[in-house]
Amino acid sequence: MEPLAPLAPLYTAELFPPLHRELMGLLRGLPASDWERPTVAGSWVVRDVAAHLLDGDLRKLSAYRDGHLPRPPVPIHDHRGLVAFLNELNAEWVAAARRLSPRVLVELLEVTGHQLAELVASLPPHGPSLFPVAWAGEGASENWMDTGREYTERWHHQMQIRDAVGAPGLLDPVWLTPLLELSVRALTRAYSATLAPVGTALVLDVRGEGGEGVGCWTLARAIDGWRLWRGAADEPTTTVSTDGDAAWRLLYNALPEETARARLRVEGEEWLAEPLFTARSVMV
């Protein structure tokens, strides 16, 4: 395993064009019946997830390019209120988009996907983002992190569609390593209420299908709270090992807890792994 190193900024704008090409190739090849298949995204079927991806593109372009922001019906005072507002926006759009044919959805996504890729490439990576990445516990974020969040959104929703229709997943390290490197930043928030002595360390080791390393991270207790590092602590309190498919499903609400406990191997003090099973890299 690699030695400990601080997490560095991660620049993902260059991944948007190839990720968009993967999405377009996938959607153009779907027969009519596949658009109605259920997904792991709650009650949403494939067409609903595709519509949600379109909504994400349109909202990002409206906010960052045009300065147009949706107004909440009531003031938002806390995380719960923000989640409720976002859920309402998502549900309203998906309901309205059921009036659109799959062909129209694909044609619109073709346009917005290119425009979004151009937009994120134009943003100064270390400039202030309009929105903080709240699931990572940030009160303010730089553009590179918000762009990374957008990458995780588009990757995991495309994976929901691939999973539903039986298409190959995007689990190569070129996709999965940056996805997890961004997603594990949710752990500091997930563990914020977990009390432990200074020096307590949880190692998350993710491997590919052939056993090759996808990524390894350490969450360690410092004097002022939990700190996340890339690499493995020399003498961790707890080590959690799993494969890349289980890791993304866990962090994106696509793995029931019972299945997660069967697919994640815990060595050491088991209590320290408990918050990991409820950690989410999305707004919940």
Give the residue extent of every domain in the chain: 10-170, 186-278
CATH of domain 186-278: 3.30.1050.10
Half-sphere exposure of 202 (CA within 13 A, CB side): 26
How many CB atoms within 10 Å of residue 148? 28
Residue 1: per-residue pLDDT: 62
Q: How many residues does the chain have?
A: 284
Q: Which parts of 29-100 fold into alpha helices (H)?
A: 46-60, 79-97
pTM of the entire predicted model? 0.95
Residue 70: per-residue pLDDT: 85
Domains 10-170 and 186-278 share a fold: no
Q: Does domain 10-170 have CATH number 1.20.120.450?
A: yes
The values of phi and psi at residue 189, to 5°, are -70, -40
Residue 210: per-residue pLDDT: 77
Regions of the chain where pLDDT drops below 70: 1
Strand partners for 242: 206
- Which tokens is 65 given? 């390019």
